[in-house]
Amino acid sequence: MKPCMIHGRIATMLPLFTLACVFLLEACHEQPTKQAPPPSEVGTITVKDQEVMLTTELPGRTAAYRIAEVRPQVSGIILKRQFDEGAEVMAGSTLYLIDPSPFQAAYDGAMASLARSQANLQAIRVRAQRYRELLSSGAVSQQSFDDADSAFRQAEADVAYWKAAVESARINLEHTRVTAPISGRTGRSSVTEGALVTASQPSPLVTIQQIDPIYVDIPQSTAELLRLKRRTELGTLDRNGAGRDRVRLNLEDGSAYALEGTLQFQDITVDRMTGSVILRAVFPNPKGVLLPGMFVRAVAVEGVNRRAILIPQHAVSRDPKGNPVALVVNRKGTVEQRQLSIDRAMGNQWLVTSGLVPGDRVIVEGMQKVRPGAQAKAVSTDGVSPMEPAAGKGDTPASPAN
């Protein structure tokens, strides 16, 4: 192609190219500038200290306050049973009557022998006194006086012996009435009228149990005891407040027992099989709802945490490793992810031991709209302004959670 023809075409296309550039520049000036989207709104609560009473729920078993296995103290035939099985009896009331005839005869014989010894003692005493008076004048020999004095002393010993025999016979006669050693509820009788029983036999005639009040034995692991001691020493748990010895019960059917009990003592011997010690509580049981051997769940007071941090359970999620985390909006409006340490659930809240401090704004609504590092607009859902400082110890204490 000739050079003159090339130059001609370029000269023809140059105005068209210039016109296209002008149109593009005008289109760019007419298109509006794109703006960054506004930060997402999220509902937050402001973390603050609270005073809460911490409790722990442990399994336990009821046990009778007092137990008496009634056994006969003399041998004989049961003439009568004088109580109803399962009934309440008072201490000292008669339970069984053993045939008293042989014991009455033994008592009568001992009384007769005592009377005879006392009659002989009087005559021998008078003789010994007379010989003592005659000895000074030489009317009787020393040997005669010694014999009379010895007979007197022997007669005194006989009287003492028969007095002891009478007392023993009286005690045996009284033991023919088998009485209740304690007040309580009787169990099943192991004998009926006409049965032969022997003194101190191995099997009891009946067992009496006092169940008002009643014990509840609660095993607690030594690991838990050490944890409580460590928290007390660190000052995060006050175990000296009111109600620290109170214990409540939940029965086998899930219902709550109406009356509160009192922690009585803590055993110092660790069970080698379970690694636990026994806490014993005592409960009033006027209506007999609690029976010995029942399985219950005891709710015992650990102490008071005066700087507890509670947040709703739905504000806590889990990271891929299963650790609890929460999203927080900082002072600059940026979302942060905090890893938490959680002690326990208290109702619909978590008790947080680390990861949050008073004043933090925890996201409880709209968590799905933000990510760590994003900007967010915090909207308070608990009535506390996001810019207010955290509430301190002067706040009204929260109701104790269980």
Predicted local confidence at residue 346, as pLDDT: 85
Q: At what angle do helices 101-135 and 142-174 cross, to 10 degrees?
A: 160
| Cα separations in angstroms, 41 against 36, 333, 356, 372, 382 | 15, 11, 21, 14, 15
Residue 358 burial (C-beta neighbours within 10 Å; 0-12, 13-18, 19+): middle
Retrieve residue 43's tokens: 């509902």
Domains 55-64+210-304 and 100-175 share a fold: no
* Segments of the chain scoring below 50 in pLDDT: 1-4, 6-7, 10, 30, 386-402
CATH for 100-175, among 1.10.287, 3.30.43, 1.10.3470, 3.30.70?
1.10.287
CATH fold for the domain made of 55-64+210-304: Elongation Factor Tu (Ef-tu); domain 3 (2.40.30)
Domain boundaries, the chain: 42-52+307-380, 55-64+210-304, 100-175
Predicted local confidence at residue 390, as pLDDT: 39
Tokens 């005008």 label which residue? 26
Predicted local confidence at residue 2, as pLDDT: 46
Decide if 341 contacts 353 (C-beta within 8 A): yes
Predicted local confidence at residue 124, as pLDDT: 85
Predicted local confidence at residue 191, as pLDDT: 94
Predicted local confidence at residue 244, as pLDDT: 66
Domain 42-52+307-380 has CATH 2.40.420.20: yes
Residue 290's Cα: distance from chain center in Å? 15
Predicted local confidence at residue 55, as pLDDT: 81
Decide if 350 contacts 45 (C-beta within 8 A): no
